Amino acid sequence: MDDDYFLRHSVGDITWHSAALVQHGNSHEPLVLVRETSQRGFDGGSQVFVYAPSRSDLFAATAATLDQLNLSILEARIMTSSAQVAIESYIVLEADGERIGDNPERIQAIRQGLSNALHNPDKFPEIIQRRVPRRLKHFSFSPQVNINNDAQRAYTVVEVVAPDRPGLLARIAQVFLEFHLSLVSAKIITQGERIEDVFFLTDNNGQPLTDPQLCGRLKEALIAQLATSIS
């Protein structure tokens, strides 16, 4: 694990992850954990932890699967270690806003559903394209997207502010895939019916985006995707 992992997770979470990773051993299968969170500001939420070999479409497949499991993502922390392992941590509620709580059957269904979905990367495109029709909330404002480069790190920073909606993260991740971008890290926050997301990206060569026209097309694609209603 890199420094970012230890800086962005609590001692309790690190202990929880470590015990499971010891049992997981050298397996190349994805590890999925679920439990109620004690994180401040997310009372009643459940934490989903995913540890798997890094792939450019892993985040998109995970976000889409959580949506298909009728879960709403309140927060996500996404990072990739120097060993090319993806470490994803999500705070979720049921799609209707209810807590999952200490429900062994529901927790097992989430773990099994995610494990099955992430077990076969060849099926990721099918998972990402699959839609779960749900009632949309009224748009209270238009999506906003800002793109700039980090002066201290070799990343391109994409900031998205938009109304919350089913499948939003999966739609954003799908745009990144279409532009052949790699997600290095992300911070996703849902505040009421508003999401404020920050993504750190590179191109396939591990470099920030320096072409203004490419950045312009990326911004337009994100806004178009976020403004399109779900069929």
Give the tens place of pLDDT for each residue, 86-126.
899 998 989 888 899 888 999 999 999 999 999 988 888 88
Residues 15 and 98 grouped into a single domain:
yes
Residues 168 and 125 grouped into a single domain:
no
Flag whether 218 is in a domain.
yes
C-alpha closest to that of 198 among 146, 153, 154, 163: 146
Domain of 195, in residue numbers: 144-227
* pLDDT for position 140: 61
Residues 103 and 163 grouped into a single domain:
no
Residues 25 and 84 grouped into a single domain:
yes
Rounded CA-CA distance 76/92 in Å is 9
Residues 166 and 101 grouped into a single domain:
no
Residues 153 and 101 grouped into a single domain:
no
Residues 123 and 158 grouped into a single domain:
no
Give the residue-averaged pLDDT of 199-204: 89
**Is residue 144 scored above 80 in pLDDT?**
yes
Flag whether 17 is in a domain.
yes
* Per-residue CA distances from 75 to 91, 189, 198, 209 (Å): 5, 5, 11, 26
* pLDDT for position 14: 92
Residues 106 and 154 grouped into a single domain:
no
* CATH number, residue 64: 3.30.70.260
Rank 128-132, 216-220, 224-228 by mean pLDDT and report only the highest.
Answer: 216-220
Flag whether 72 is in a domain.
yes
- Picking from 71, 100, 129, the residue at the C-terminal end of a domain is 129
* pLDDT for position 231: 39
**Is residue 203 scored above 70 in pLDDT?**
yes
Residues 172 and 97 grouped into a single domain:
no
Flag whether 134 is in a domain.
no
**Is residue 59 scored above 80 in pLDDT?**
yes
| Number of domains within the chain | 2
* pLDDT for position 205: 85
Rank 31-35, 58-62, 99-103, 193-197 by mean pLDDT and report only the highest.
Answer: 31-35
**Is residue 136 scored above 80 in pLDDT?**
no
Give the residue-averaged pLDDT of 58-68: 90
Flag whether 48 is in a domain.
yes
Query: How remote is the C-alpha of 152 from its chain's centroid?
Result: 24
Residues 122 and 16 grouped into a single domain:
yes
Flag whether 135 is in a domain.
no
**Is residue 30 scored above 80 in pLDDT?**
yes
- Picking from 103, 129, 155, the residue at the C-terminal end of a domain is 129
Residues 13 and 125 grouped into a single domain:
yes
